[in-house]
Chain A
Amino acid sequence: MVYQKLSLILTLTVFENLLLGSIGTPFLIRDHKRRKDASLLLEAQGLQVDLDTLVSELTLAQRQLLEIGKLLWRNARILILDEPTSQLAPHEIDEVLRTTRKLANAGRTVLLITHKIDEVLRFADSVTVLRGGEAIATAHARDLTRAELGRLIVGPLQAVPSVDTARALASVPVASLRSVSLTNGSDRTGVFDLDVYGGEVLGIAGVSGNGPEDLAQLLVGSRKSATGEIQFHFGVDVPVAHIPADSRRMGAVDTLPLSRNVFLREFDSPRLCIGPFVRLDVMRNEAASRLKAYGVRPSNPDLLAAALSGGNLQKLIIAREMSCGASLLVAENPTAGLDPASAGDILQRLKLFAREGPAVVLVSADLSELLAISDRVAVFSGKRLIGVERSENLTADSLGMMMGGIRLDIVQQLTNIGTNDGQGLEAIRRLLTSANWWERRVAAQAALLCPDFQEDALIDSLYITEQHEEVRVWLALLQARMRPAGAEILLSEHAERSPEVYLEVVRRLLGTTDNIKFGRELAYRSENPTSLWEAVLYRTGAALWDNLSVASGGRPS
């Protein structure tokens, strides 16, 4: 069993966590065989870390894999995973679920508890839907569509009313960020301005660690910007409402009754107080009616907050934050780990709240959620503001590319390449000469995907002047494609000069981060090339990979 909240000990090493509590672990651990076994076992799960790494230094995905490794160490035949992906970023989810898929293929039984429809359809063999404590249906995953499965989970009630369309922003912002920065240093290039308007839901997109959390902290005041200032256009004693990411730990007090949790911010509001004294009976009654209004169950104000499930606790926090008279509400991943019905309810409430006048800043890792309820989306990458766009101009794909650091206008031009109106080709030409190597690389990649791009002369001249090693390899690939005859010399030259960069480029072309898969893919592609230059590219890559693998004991970085 792997619990939703991981049961690893952060201050111990990977090896110690693996051995801890398993039968057969001796009092003193000294033998090398056990270490060897452990590292083999973890590597087979795709977890390539040193055994003596502290668990606190692992990413969440790696911890999840270690949890699975613990079960395998105990030789479990049946693995139960409770929402193993709820805390993970999208690319980590695949990593973990591929591992579990492999285990199932190898003959073990995996019980995957999840509320994410895509995960079920992609990785499961058979599905059982539970609703209200009853098994509603069991079916083969391949016989189900997303819509069918969604209907089974939600039930006959289609309680997701549509949200009204975007409306004009208020003319005066609620909060203005002026030349603030999310980094601590003196990096002037990361400085940006951002206005948050009343009545809007401003979505904040970005891969975790790239700035969204920092922006939320700036707004709620738990962090100061190294530069610039934030102007709030409301009274100093008006709080900034905040739905924290870790609501159980930060937003509520488990050991106190619901009534106290509901009025956490407002003990001193005039409705409750006579002088310094709080009218407890009034507080209790108001808490009860508020809990009912927001659909918190159970709604008895005398129960302890520990008695609430995650979804109901989140509703309580939303009830509190929406009632404290704030003009600005910052919500951090408010639907993380919730079932679709609760999540929909919460998003609906956020939208309606903004329509009444206050501004809502929604930080979310779920792009479809951001696009569904935001009026505008601000995208962060590398702690920089990439752009603020109206959400109707965005798709999940373009948002994803912006999160990778590319501005929307560039994204749009690049995605227009196929339409043959010349704009895309023009964009590539312009970007190839950009001062930013990042943009030159993107342009070269786009050119590689676009068969209409045939500008030998331009590429040749750029190739001579290009300084950046990685961009040079991409340009070399373009040249090789246009003149397959000279491909061998051109590409092997790069493979010799900077093997790491070369491999990295090949890896990007194949679109994989998984080492084992990469090696296999390389071998396959070099056997089955579709053109001469591909054959050279992949064969050189495969040879490099083998050399590096041997040199570094089977684990190239």
Chain B
Amino acid sequence: MNYIGLSKRSVPFVASVAALLLLGLGLKLLGRSPWSVYSGLFAGSLGSRFAIAETLVATIPIIFCALATAVPRWAGLISVGAEGALYAGAVGATYAALQFSHWPSVALVPSMLLLAACAGAVWAAVPALLRVFLGINETIVTLLGNYVAVLLVEYLVHGVWQDPASYSWPQSAAFVASAELPRWPGTRVHLGLAVAILAALLLWVLRSRTVLGLRLEITGSNPTAANYAGYPVRKYQLLVMVVGGILAAMAGWGQVAAIEGRLRSALSPGYGYSGFLVAWMARHHPLGILGFSLLLAAMLTGSDNLQLRQQLPAAMVNIFQGILLFCLLGAEYIADRQTTKMQVAHRGHEEEVPQ
């Protein structure tokens, strides 16, 4: 979203480097070698074929969730409901998998996708309608909805959908083989990756090249101006929220259909929130989201390795995410100030020159 100078574009990179340096300093003070920690992080995330595959597996839901945060933001809405819609999507996909288990794969996989999308859309429509017609803050409603979604899934896996084969485990029955998604041979990387990348590319084109995308940009930047120009602002707000819900539901679909193979209440280690962070790091740009999702997924995967090999607490990655967020906000502030200065300079020089 930057049209003058390079400083704003480079914000995420400067922030990432600064965060690595800061964390390294902290590790040094704790008596750890930052170098070995970082190399462990790298080895665990990108150091082997298996590690790369696992990183890609974690990238998929993060991409979806980040897109699900970015799209509402285009029209000026701040949704933190990706986590909830992810669970809603998982419920939708599970319903299809359990209900149509006798169908062949060609029919079952798309129907799971479709039902997951419907569930996500309905889930997101609730805060969207409340926002558009009653003016209720969408951020709070989506946040609270996340807890409801998890509770809903727990209700299902403890109740009607509980696997009769495993008495006490809160999980649904395992899906039939025809419900499984195609995979890259020998890894857990599944079809969802292609869908995620495709979705990001489509959204990028929509955002930057189409009438709807440009109008959404106006709506997000200044809703008053959008109203003035006669845009159907409410329709747009509904649309972006519902599309966001569908995108996050895709993450849930991928998790149950390809990774877990059944519905469980612990489907996501906070992918929705990681997606939120990624979306803001990428400044809600779909292509940026692809890159930053990979980065964050690599850190999550790498930190598993650190826990196993170097007895570092898992919280370290959370700490790193926090430092990264602060560096990002700080760098953005500095860049904003520079832009403002440049503009003031522009005004001063070019404005009131007599004809």
Bits for A216-235, please: 1 = Cβ < 8 Å to B, else 0: 00000010000000000000
A268–B217 CB distance below 8 A: no
Chain B neighbourhood of A508, CB < 8 A: none
Given that A157-B355, A268-B211, A309-B347 are known contacts, is A251 also in contact with B228, CB under 8 Å in the complex? yes
Partner of B3, one of A257, A297, A309: A257
B217 near A312: Cβ-Cβ < 8 Å: no
Q: Are A278 and B211 in contact (CB under 8 A)?
A: yes
Q: Name B211's contact: one of A242, A267, A295, A297 (CB within 8 Å).
A: A267
Q: Is the Cβ of A304 less than 8 Å from the Cβ of B3?
A: yes
A302 at the interface (CB under 8 A from B): yes
In the bound complex, how far is the Cα of B340 from the Cα of A297, in angstroms?
A: 18
A278–B228 touching, CB < 8 Å = no
A24 CB within 8 Å of chain B:
no
Asked if A160 is at the interface of the complex by the 8 Å CB criterion, the answer is: no
Stretch at the interface among B97-105, B121-129, B172-180, B219-227: B219-227
Interface string of A142-183 (1 = CB under 8 A from B): 000000000000010101000000000000000000000000
A278→B209 contact, CB < 8 A: yes
Contact of B4 with A303 in the complex, beta carbons under 8 Å: yes
Whether a CB of chain A sits under 8 angstroms from the CB of B33 is: no
Q: Do B221 and A255 touch across chains, with their CB atoms under 8 A apart? A: yes
CB-based contact B214/A267 at 8 Å = yes
Q: Which residue of A lies closest to B213 (CB)?
A: A278
Q: Verify if A422 is at the interface (C-beta below 8 Å from B).
A: no
Contact A277 B209 (CB under 8 A): yes
How far apart sit A273 and B353, CA to CA, in the bound complex (Å)?
36
Cα–Cα, bound, A68→B214 (Å): 44
Residues of chain B within 8 A of A239, CB atoms compared: 230
Q: Are A302 and B4 also in contact (CB < 8 A) when A242-B228, A267-B211 are? A: yes
Q: In the complex, are the beta carbons of B215 and A267 less than 8 A apart?
A: yes
Q: Which residue of B lies closest to A268 (CB)?
A: B211
Render A521-541 as a binary contact track against B, CB cut-off 8 A, 1 for contact.
000000000000000000000
Judge whether B218 and A256 touch: CB under 8 Å.
yes
* B304-355 interface with A by 8 A CB criterion: 339-340, 343, 346-347, 350-355
* B215 x A302 contact (CB < 8 A): no
**A280 cross-chain contacts in B, Cβ below 8 A:** 208-209
Q: Which residues of B contact A131 (CB under 8 A)?
A: 354
Q: Can you add 8 more A-B contacts, CB < 8 Å, to A131-B354, A307-B343?
A: A257-B3, A260-B217, A276-B212, A297-B350, A304-B339, A307-B346, A307-B347, A308-B347
11 example contacts (A-B, Cβ-Cβ < 8 A) are as follows A132-B354, A222-B228, A244-B228, A249-B222, A250-B225, A250-B228, A256-B217, A276-B211, A278-B210, A304-B4, A304-B343
Which B residues lie at the A interface, using CB under 8 A? 1, 3-4, 208-212, 214-215, 217-218, 221-222, 224-225, 227-230, 339-340, 343, 346-347, 350-355
Which 10 A-B residue pairings sit nearest by Cβ, starting from the closest? A298-B350, A253-B222, A307-B343, A267-B211, A253-B221, A307-B346, A268-B211, A276-B210, A309-B351, A267-B214
